[in-house]
Amino acid sequence: MRSRTMATVGAAALALSALLPGASASASPPATTSSAATTSSVAAPAVRAAAPDIPLANVKAHLSQLQTIATSNGGNRAHGRPGFRASIDFVKGKLDAAGFQTAVQSFSYNGATGYNLIADWPGGDVNNTLMVGAHLDSVTAGPGINDNGSGSAANLEVALAVAREGYKPARHLRFGWWGAEELGLIGSTHYVETLPSAERSKIKGYLNFDMVGSPNPGYFAYDGDGSSGGGGPAGSAEIERVLRAHFATINVPVEDTAFDGRSDYGPFIDYGIAAGGLFTGAEGRKTSAQAQKWGGQAGVAYDRCYHARCDTTTNINDPALDRNADAIAYTVWTLAGGTQVLDEPRAAANRAAA
């Protein structure tokens, strides 16, 4: 966790804010520390919203819930198993209570019904939608807490922070929790392919978080700008730049990872939608150079429990999960623009009650 003020949001955010009507980033006090807006007799000014710190304890509480769901449903949260449906219902319940508009999309695969959960935050420019996703299914071997309870729980807490902060993004915000990723990106592919093309073309960016709490973590961003070869649809370079910017402020070096479609952003980039995401590593082994800059164990897998029974709540590196959750919030707030609408006492009360 960390605190952030407007002074540290970076040139990119300030440049973006300059394009937004009503924004006055350079003149406004920090949205999360000011009392000026509340003591003034005039209506609260449109303060460009700074990303909140995402409480690690909240993200970990979601992971504990997912672990309990797996434990009471045969040890996993896999496609076609009761633990997956229970995971969908758990996330949906949190989002409904926070004011999201949720929908469960069903699909059929391998003789079983699968589900995607789609959650829209009301408001913003729907013709310029930013989508944020994670796969919620595990493999059958284990509870899937790092893969991908971590991305699912971090995104859930960022979504809840959107509501808590009274965030009014300039762009429309939509979150997705995918089914059957482990069987070949089935749920996300179903979602993208069955969207009417007019709706698909309104999605101008997709952020994907799959494994963001690996126990021997690396800090990777999908190579959207092609600086390591490849690259993605137009706009992906900008997404990579914003994803990296948070880590620069906390002095954590970031490496590229292949932008090759090995997670749920694949179907989005297949349709030319700009995308990006973060990753802390799976079966690959940390090099000695990486252990020197990031700490951890050289010659050991980033996640020794990848797709295994031991991918439990103990298979999480807390600083990695915390930094990635904060980076997700920073990226959402930076790319979506907009203002904070709750007065600060209400936002503070919401944070305290969370």
The least CB distance from residue 216 to ligand DPN, in Å, is 15
Number of residues interacting with ligand DPN: please give it, by CB under 6 A: 10
The least CB distance from residue 211 to ligand DPN, in Å, is 5
Residues with active-site annotation: 181
66 near ligand DPN (CB under 6 A) = no
The least CB distance from residue 228 to Ca ion, in Å, is 6
Which one of ligand DPN, Ca ion, Zn ion, none is in contact with 262 (Cβ closer than 5 to 8 A by kind)?
Answer: ligand DPN
279 near ligand DPN (CB under 6 A) = yes
The least CB distance from residue 211 to Ca ion, in Å, is 18
For ligand DPN, what does the binding mask look like between residues 214 and 253, x meaning CB under 6 A? Answer: ----------------------------------------
The least CB distance from residue 245 to Ca ion, in Å, is 13
* Cα(303)–Cα(139) distance, integer angstroms: 15
181 near ligand DPN (CB under 6 A) = yes
- Tell me how far the alpha carbon of residue 121 is from its chain's centroid: 14
Window 163 to 182, contacts with Zn ion (CB under 5 A)? 182
Window 220 to 259, contacts with Ca ion (CB under 5 A)? 223, 225, 227, 256
Residue closer to ligand DPN (CB basis): 193 or 260: 260
Helices 56-71 and 318-336 meet at what angle, rounded to 10?
110
Residue closer to Zn ion (CB basis): 199 or 283: 283
User: Which residue of 137, 147, 157, 264 would you call a contact of Zn ion, by CB under 5 A?
Assistant: 147
User: Which residue of 53, 120, 147, 326 would you call a contact of ligand DPN, by CB under 6 A?
Assistant: 147
DSSP 192-233: HHHS-HHHHTTEEEEEEE-----SS---EEE-TT-TTS---S
* Cα(153)–Cα(144) distance, integer angstroms: 12
User: Which residue of 32, 263, 331, 340 would you call a contact of ligand DPN, by CB under 6 A?
Assistant: 263
Residues 6+ apart with CB under 8 A from 321: 56, 59, 60, 150, 154, 212, 213
According to DSSP, the β-strands at 125-135 and 203-209 are parallel
CB atoms within 10 A of CB 167: 26
Residue closer to ligand DPN (CB basis): 84 or 279: 279
Q: Own/partner pairs for 7-12, CB < 8 Å, 24+ apart?
A: 8/249, 9/50, 9/51, 9/334, 10/245, 10/249, 10/334, 12/241, 12/242, 12/245, 12/334
- Tell me how far the alpha carbon of residue 227 is from its chain's centroid: 23
- Binding residues (CB under 6 A) for ligand DPN: these are 147-148, 181-182, 210-211, 262-263, 279, 282
